[in-house]
Amino acid sequence: MRRQPDPPKTADSGQLEGRAWRSLLAAAARVAEPLTEDSWVVRRDGGFGATAAAPVAVQALLELYAPLCGAQAGRPFALAHLGQSLDGCIATASGDSYYVTGPDNVRHLHRLRALSAAVVVGAGTVARDDPQLTVRHVEGPNPVRVVLDPSAKLDAGHRVFTDGAAPTLVVHAEGSDAPAPGNAEILHVPAEAGRLRLDVLLERLHERGSWSVFVEGGGETVSRFLEAGLLDRLHIAIAPLVTGRGRPGLTLPARDRIADCLRPAHRVFTMGSDVLFDCDLRTAAFPASTAPSGALARVL
């Protein structure tokens, strides 16, 4: 079915979007508590979805983000996101990543932060990009910032350690006696061969009240969480961009057979000029098709 162009936004559509977003923020904050009667988000099958009363204009917004509000008291919910080029790169060979994806996906990134209790990045991302990891483009709370630095290489000269915009945890390997950089608090986690035990990290974040964890980057950090089977959901935004050669997004152990490769259940959303794959890693994967469906649909 050919997708019709989106109508221009009006004051009314902006108000609807604002109300829908506030329903999502409320759902993410409540976890095990009941939602208000006027919410456009409802619990279903252990998670969340849009109510039948929600206007058509905001159904896509609700359906994309509602499943991300499904944190439970018993275990952490973990989501990761990567924005990449058509040839699978998250940055050029020189490291330039500003911005691979367009402004709609940047706003999406801030929405993911707002819906999460904690946002996780690796030390390399902080060293290269000096990110703030705060919510600036959307309404919502700043998450706790978690920086993985097992070897304690980072110093206090980065904004996450000094700006005071949100609490910051820096994760060092157990046994390290390095001081905390700037205003950060140290969280010690066991490491094996210099690599942090990410399962223990999630458990300890959960114990501290971070029931939903957003793994923002970089590619190596996201890949390690995915390889360890610790992600509930993975968002990959693909931009109409070709870098030629650059820093890859996902880097996982090679598989000899296509049948052994990960083929997750997924949904597809358009996001400005980018295409977002919303992969559900806790649902049985779609079987590989062995015959053409005969269907062709234009979505842009």
Q: What is the pLDDT of residue 104?
A: 96
Asked if residue 11 has pLDDT above 90, the reply is no
Q: What is the pLDDT of residue 241?
A: 95
DSSP codes joined into one string, 226-256: HHTT--SEEEEEE-S---SSEEES------S
CA distances from 173 to 80, 87, 167, 299 (A): 22, 35, 20, 47
pLDDT band with cut points at 50, 70 and 90 for residue 2: very low
Asked if residue 293 has pLDDT above 80, the reply is no
The topology under which CATH files domain 75-280 is Dihydrofolate Reductase, subunit A (3.40.430)
What is the per-residue pLDDT across 22-32, written as a single tens digit (0 to 9) for each? 989 988 886 55
Ramachandran assignment for 213, one of left (phi > 0), alpha (psi -120 to 50 degrees), beta (any other): beta
- Mean pLDDT, the chain, as a whole number? 89
What is the per-residue pLDDT across 147-182, written as a single tens digit (0 to 9) for each? 999 999 999 999 999 999 999 999 999 999 999 999
Structure-model confidence comparison of residues 292 and 58, the more confident one: 58
pLDDT band with cut points at 50, 70 and 90 for residue 123: very high
What is the per-residue pLDDT across 48-106, written as a single tens digit (0 to 9) for each? 788 888 899 999 999 999 989 877 767 789 999 999 999 999 999 888 888 899 999 99
User: Each residue of 210-234: b (16+ CB within 10 Å) or e?
Assistant: bbbbbbbbbbbbbbbbbeeebbbbb
Asked if residue 10 has pLDDT above 60, the reply is no
pTM score: 0.91
The encoded tokens of residue 63 equal 């359906």
Q: What is the pLDDT of residue 97?
A: 84
Q: What is the pLDDT of residue 177?
A: 94
Q: What is the pLDDT of residue 1?
A: 38
pLDDT band with cut points at 50, 70 and 90 for residue 6: low
User: Each residue of 43-61: b (16+ CB within 10 Å) or e?
Assistant: eeeebbbbbeebeebbeeb
Structure-model confidence comparison of residues 297 and 24, the more confident one: 24
pLDDT band with cut points at 50, 70 and 90 for residue 287: low
Mean pLDDT of 185-189: 98
What is the per-residue pLDDT across 224-239, written as a single tens digit (0 to 9) for each? 999 999 999 999 999 9
Q: Where are the domains of the chain?
A: 1-70, 75-280
Asked if residue 277 has pLDDT above 80, the reply is yes
